[in-house]
Amino acid sequence: MSAELLIRGGTIVTSERTFAGDVRVRDGRIVEVIERPMEGSGGDARSGGGVRADGDARTGGDVSVGSDVRLGGDEPAVGDARAAGPANEENVLDATGMYVLPGLVDLHVHFRDPGLTDKEDFETGTAAAALGGVTTVLDMPNTKPPVGSASVLRQKAAAVAGRAYVDYKLYGVITEHNLPLLAEMAEAGAAAFKLFLGPTTGDIKAPGWGKLIEVFETVRDLNVPLVVHAEDRDVIEYWEKRAAQRTMGVGGGFWHDVYDFRPPSDEEYSTFLATRPRFGEAAATQTVCLLAAMTNTPVHIAHVSIKEAVDVIRQAKAAGAPVSAETCPQYLTLTSADCRRLGPVSKVLPPVREKADQEALWQALQDGVIDMIASDHAPHEAAAKESPSWSKAAAGLLGVQTMLLVLLNEAEQGRLTLNDLVRWASRRPAELFGFDDEKGDIRPGLDADLVVVDPRRETTVTAEWLQSKSKNSHLIGRTLRGAVVHTIVRGHVVVRDGRLTGLRIGRNLFERAPAPPPYV
């Protein structure tokens, strides 16, 4: 690859502002962001019903886009394309009429490698990421064997090395027994520790609450992020048993109340929901927040799905607890009605609930109670996923390839601005994992991790387009406004004109040499 690249003529979207300009890249880093006046800027660019770009972002200059950049409008903002490019025109990507965003940082993916590669592997997973505009992934540790020691972490790192289309880091897991091994895992490069408080894929058991005090204190002292699946195992196991009994003709009042005297069927979504009472997520979230506050350990709550958990986090944050949280596109866009229609292909843990939950999650993002969005990309092979039984079907949805487009479509509906999107799905995750001095935004000095999106095109989710091994997407057949045109990882074009170029230059960020000081 040539060391220079110019992305010219696009509408640049950072975590704070939207403006016309070019991005100049050298040796994998952004070296210059050239801001230029936009055609039709000022009052003319205003148009109803478009994306709410940040009106507040007008900061003195006369080059700001203003408050109504339209996504999917007939005439997207067009920059002045007369900027000087590098000598070699091959190294120019024309972004005229398109958005240039920082590549997304997906802090929650399950790429299943090694050990569960019937579901996904590192090549297919990172290919899906690249095609979806995600340039960094944090891969979960419920692989086989689970990543519960330094040696397993090193084996996993060796197994996936050289196979990734995008950059990555690997999680370690906290089990009932591996407290003494957390320090060596941190040393071996664990991006974070994952704690599964409820049963989910892999069924990795957590220590009890007593031991967790020690675990939290240990993780705090190691200064590694702690990410928690907050659903209570006891609550779930009890109600799963009760559901099984009731379908066998045993059991009592609760089911009568829920089912209005009809025996619950395993093919009904309400039966699945009843096996994961909302109390399970609310209680686990509450206890995690208490533990974070009382041990002074920063904790990140994964895939928040219900309004009670939002309330708990809101209170904990207000009281100063060191807590952050994520939610996922599925909780922001689906409700139980969709799951009933879609069937068990839409089974995910925690389950998708009601419209009121969805509203609470959007509000929590706006209020800063939920800090970020991740995909929780969790594929399963067809045999595991394609079951009419909610209890037997595997839980987990595809998401890494569709997250950006789904969020762009929500932006078109006015649910978020493009700057929110960048903040929630790129910058904040980079901050959580401590690499925001390298990734997560567009400014000189950062890695040239960029995605060029055409808002005028559409993308239909098909089995052919999906790069994952699993084609069991709840979105299959859906047409989304917008298309990922180019994806750039550290200056390498890994997706050009909507196709993988074949470069697999993804690196384990742990192994990366530290950034050179600015005076070099």
- Tell how strand 450-460 and strand 479-489 pair up: antiparallel
| One residue of 66, 172, 329, 396 binding ligand NCD per CB under 6 A | 396
Q: Pick between residue 229 and residue 233 the one whose CB is nearest to Zn ion.
A: 229
Residues between 22 and 61 that touch ligand NCD (CB under 6 A): none
Cα separation of 98 and 7, whole Å?
A: 11
Alpha helix stretches (DSSP H) within 376-427? 382-385, 403-412, 418-422
Q: Pick between residue 201 and residue 426 the one whose CB is nearest to ligand NCD.
A: 201
Residues between 312 and 351 that touch ligand NCD (CB under 6 A): 348-349
User: Taking CB within 5 to 8 Å according to partner kind, which of Zn ion, ligand NCD, none is near residue 395?
Assistant: ligand NCD
Looking at residue 208, its amino acid is: G
State the nearest-atom distance from the C-beta of 228 to Zn ion, in Å.
9
Decide if residue 400 touches ligand NCD (CB under 6 A): no
| Reduced 3-state DSSP string for 439-505 | CCCCCCCCECCEEEEEEEEEEECCCCCCCCCCCCCCCCCCEEEEEEEEEEECCEEEEECCEECCCCC
Q: Are 419 and 14 in contact (CB under 8 A)?
A: yes
Residues between 111 and 150 that touch ligand NCD (CB under 6 A): 142
Q: Among residues 513, 511, 515, 514, which one has the least CA distance to residue 160?
A: 511
State the nearest-atom distance from the C-beta of 139 to ligand NCD, in Å.
11
In sign, the C-alpha dihedral spanning 251, 308, 371, 209 is negative
Distances, alpha carbon 206 to alpha carbons 6, 215, 223, 292, in Å: 49, 10, 20, 16
User: Taking CB within 5 to 8 Å according to partner kind, which of Zn ion, ligand NCD, none is near residue 487?
Assistant: none
Q: Pick between residue 245 and residue 389 the one whose CB is nearest to ligand NCD.
A: 389
User: Taking CB within 5 to 8 Å according to partner kind, which of Zn ion, ligand NCD, none is near residue 346?
Assistant: none
Q: Pick between residue 349 and residue 418 the one whose CB is nearest to ligand NCD.
A: 349
State the nearest-atom distance from the C-beta of 230 to ligand NCD, in Å.
10
Cα separation of 227 and 52, whole Å?
A: 31
State the nearest-atom distance from the C-beta of 349 to ligand NCD, in Å.
4
State the nearest-atom distance from the C-beta of 278 to ligand NCD, in Å.
16
Characterise 517 by phi-psi region: left (phi > 0), alpha (psi -120 to 50), beta (else): beta
- Compute, in degrees rounded to 10, the torsion defined by CA atoms 48, 51, 57, 58: -30
State the nearest-atom distance from the C-beta of 331 to ligand NCD, in Å.
11
Count of beta carbons in the 10 Å neighbourhood of residue 424: 22
Phi, psi of 211 (to 5 degrees): -65, -30
State the nearest-atom distance from the C-beta of 6 to ligand NCD, in Å.
40
Q: Pick between residue 36 and residue 229 the one whose CB is nearest to Zn ion.
A: 229
Count of beta carbons in the 10 Å neighbourhood of residue 234: 12
What is the token pair recorded at 318? 């207000």
Q: Pick between residue 97 and residue 202 the one whose CB is nearest to ligand NCD.
A: 202
| One residue of 67, 91, 175, 201 binding ligand NCD per CB under 6 A | 201
Residues between 55 and 114 that touch ligand NCD (CB under 6 A): 110
Q: Pick between residue 229 and residue 353 the one whose CB is nearest to Zn ion.
A: 229
Q: Are 184 and 153 in contact (CB under 8 A)?
A: no
| One residue of 11, 126, 200, 467 binding ligand NCD per CB under 6 A | 200
Q: Give the binding site for Zn ion (CB under 5 A).
A: 229, 376
Q: Pick between residue 256 and residue 392 the one whose CB is nearest to ligand NCD.
A: 392
Residues between 222 and 281 that touch ligand NCD (CB under 6 A): 229
User: Taking CB within 5 to 8 Å according to partner kind, which of ligand NCD, Zn ion, none is near residue 375?
Assistant: none
Site string (361-390) toward ligand NCD, x via CB under 6 A: ---------------x-x------------
| Helix axes 233-247 and 278-295, enclosed angle (nearest 10) | 170
Site residues for ligand NCD per CB under 6 A:
110, 142, 200-201, 229, 348-349, 376, 378, 395-396
